[in-house]
Every structure is written in C-alpha cells, then in structure tokens.
Chains A and B, each alone.
Chain A
C-alpha cells in the first residue's frame, strides 16, 4: 500500500529545502523539518521529506541493504520522485543509508572529479538523535570559530572518514544526517578539530 507524499508539494518542498540549505550553510547546526511525511518501510520521515524535495528523474538514488530489502521503499521513491534506483554507489546522486553502522566507505561513492567536484554523491544518513553520541569539534566555512556536533548512531571511525573526505577537497561526498523531524549536514568543506576550545 503506497503512502502519500507531501500534502502541499510546492510549499512543503520549499520549506524542507530551506531547512536543508540552512543545515548545509551552517554545518553541524540542527534544523527542524516541519513537514510530516508517512515514510515507507524503514525509511525515516525526514529522509522521505528530503527525497521528495531533491530527487527526480535526473538524480539516481542508491539504497542501502536495509532500504533495498523493502520493495515498498523503491516503489514509493519511483512513484513520488520518479527517480531511477541506482545499482552501483558510484552512479548515485543521492545515497540513502538506514543503518549508519553499515555505512559504506566514502570512496565507493562518486567523489566527483577535480574538474567537476559538484558531481559527487550526497549521502543521506538516518540517525536516531542529535543529542547523544561522541562530540565532534567542527570548523570551516559556515561555522563561526568552532561548533560541537553530536549524532547517534555514527560509525566508530567517523572522525577518520571525515578527515580523509576533507583531504580530498574539492572532491568528496557531502553528508546529510536526518532524524524523523530534524536535519544536519557535514559537507566536504568541514574541518575536524582535535577538541573544542573556547575562542
């Protein structure tokens, strides 16, 4: 049984986009997603709202095992977004991850080229909370001095992965984390600091 998409496709997509844009422009900040979407299977409402906002026939989507196992997810995405479901990570414009512990290595995704770094994959990862988990100290564009960021669950080697991703700059993946009703982003431009310092 196919669940509905946005009640108001135009305005809901706009408000969800502004939340994602605020998150991307201010890495580590947590932005509310005001739109409740009845998401299919194990997909979270936040991830579903993001898919409705950004995915269409020009943006192939890759799904991790947890999402691919549920036929309802690809059916829902195909019906509402019309997006192709990519068979390989390297073709994906967006990759949806339902199980952060099984997050594939970033270099399996499209990292873009030095000529066209914008062609890289945007990884959308479902997390449970932005209030618990180890603290990451972030700096870089969009951040005044430093900011502390927490999310759970995250892969244990997340700091190393983010550091490698930064070293590839301007290539690299952009990471968007979503709960049911909030979104935060870790774009490739962020720098990971050793610890939070008062500045």
Chain B
C-alpha cells in the first residue's frame, strides 16, 4: 500500500460537488448560512475543518495557497494546513499575500488589500451571530428569515449601558448587503472595514456547525452600531517594534515578569515586507553615501 490513497485535495468528488453547490447558493444569498454535510477531516474540530473543506472544494493545481493563523504564516495551525494541501493537492504555497490566489485564514484579514483574483477562506468556529443570545436553532433561523435583529441591537446597547461603549472587540456583528446579519468569524473588529467592498470573494466555512456562507466582491458589509455610538475599529496604541508600523493590527508580547511588553504586527507577511523594503532603502542610502 504505497500508492496515494487520496483524491486530489483529499475530499472525494461527491463531497466536493455537495460543497460546491452550497458555496454557489452562499454567494447568491450574501451573508446567509447554507447548511452543508460537513465531513470528518483528518484534524480536530477547531483546527479549521470548515475552512479546509471549502479550500479543498475550490482549489486547483494552478492555485497558489497561503494559510494564516491570527495573521501569522508560521504558527502550528497555518503550517499544518499548508502541509496538508502540499501533500494532498501538490499546490504551490506562499507566504506573500499578493502572490496567493487562495488564502485560508484563521481570525484575520491580511493588511495588504486583496485583489479581484483572490479568494479569502475563513475558518469559522460559531457561524451564528445570534447563538449566544438565542440558543435554539429554530428561533435564530426564524429571526434571520424575518430579518428580526432587535436582539442584537439590545446586546450592543447593554454593552453601552455597562461599559459606556460597545465593548465587543471581536466577532463584531455585521450586516451584509443590507439584509443578513453575519458573524465575520472571530476576527478583531479592526478587520471589519476591510471586508466592506473588498475586491476578493470571501468564503466562510464552519466544519463542526456545518455551515458555509459568503460575501461576494464589492459587497457592503456594515458593522452594526448606533447614531450616537458609531462603530470604531480598535487597535492597541503603539507601533510595531520590528517594522515601526503604526497603522497595522498589533499583537502584545510580554517580555518579562515585571510588566515589560512590546508590540509586533499580527500580520507577519506585512511586517516582513515593510522590513525588507526598509532595509533595501537603507542599503540604497548607504551605497549613495559611498559614491
């Protein structure tokens, strides 16, 4: 038994057809969660089984795949999913955002603006934005059917009543094309504005919860808010110690047990790109000084 026992991109063809039909309906009804027959994958739930199934259904041999976990290309989840597709589909992979045609992501949207040619696949743990407010699927389904989203506004209002501002920092609810309220997956709310009018197709896969949903390119994605408490993206007040960026989303790194800390870009490719651009500019300066 040495012959490869898997189909291209792991999933069998019938499963791919089922997922592809669900993806097409998801694109036609932006923000609506399409139920699909999620398969067991060779990785545990919570490791992106939904995203992996969506990626496997769209991926072709000419695609260039990038996988990020919390913005980073080099963390366990990203590395293992990248290796999974190298092994099962033989596709080229990259860490460069601009070069990739399919980007699978856990909880971030890349800092570099995406293009028409790209597909962004999100790994989603809990696709239902109303789930923590209403545990019954029959009820949340009805609420979506009637576009009855009062409960979500009550939740945001209670945030204001308790804290004086909307304290929801991630999985901040959005309304897609003026109809469906959608969970943008647990991305920080800093990333919500990037989803609005994004040139790339955005697909969302939730493996355990068996849902696929989508935001087509150039579609309005509006974060819910109030006239007197408008939506504000949040980022830590600081600059990346590696590249100096003061506009990117930052990770806080604790450096000792006496409270010292530093900030670094969450998007490793964006940070590396800025550093190499800076060092080549410095090299140019040094050359000029020599001349």
Contacts and interface: CB of A to CB of B under 8 A. Distances in A.
Given A56-B17, A169-B179, A144 B218 contact: yes
Nearest to B220: A141
B133 interface: no
Given A14-B60, A93-B21, A115-B141, A170 B13 contact: no
Nearest to B60: A14
Given A10-B13, A25-B216, A141-B216, A118 B60 contact: no
Nearest to B89: A14
A25 B32 contact: no
Q: Is the interface of B mostly helix, strand, loop or mixed?
A: mixed
A188 B34 CA distance: 15
Residue of A20, A58, A141, A174 contacting most chain B CB atoms (<10 Å)? A141
B35 interface: yes
Residue of B22, B23, B59 contacting most chain A CB atoms (<10 Å)? B23
Contacts, number: 107
B27 A21 contact: yes
Interface residues on chain A, size class: 35 or more
A33 B142 CA distance: 39
B8 A25 contact: no
Interface residues on chain B, size class: 35 or more
B28 A18 contact: no
Contacts of A114: 145-146
B156 interface: no
A140 interface: yes
A143 interface: yes
A56 to B, nearest CB: 5
A59 interface: yes
A54 interface: yes
Contacts of A9: 13
Interface of B: 7-8, 13-14, 16-18, 20-30, 32, 34-35, 57-61, 141-142, 145-146, 176-177, 179-180, 199, 201, 214-219
Interface of A: 9-11, 13-15, 17-18, 20-21, 24-26, 53-56, 58-59, 93, 113-118, 120, 122, 140-144, 169-170, 174, 187-189
Across the A-B interface, the 9 shortest Cβ-Cβ residue pairs:
A187-B28, A142-B216, A114-B145, A118-B25, A141-B219, A141-B216, A144-B218, A118-B34, A174-B28
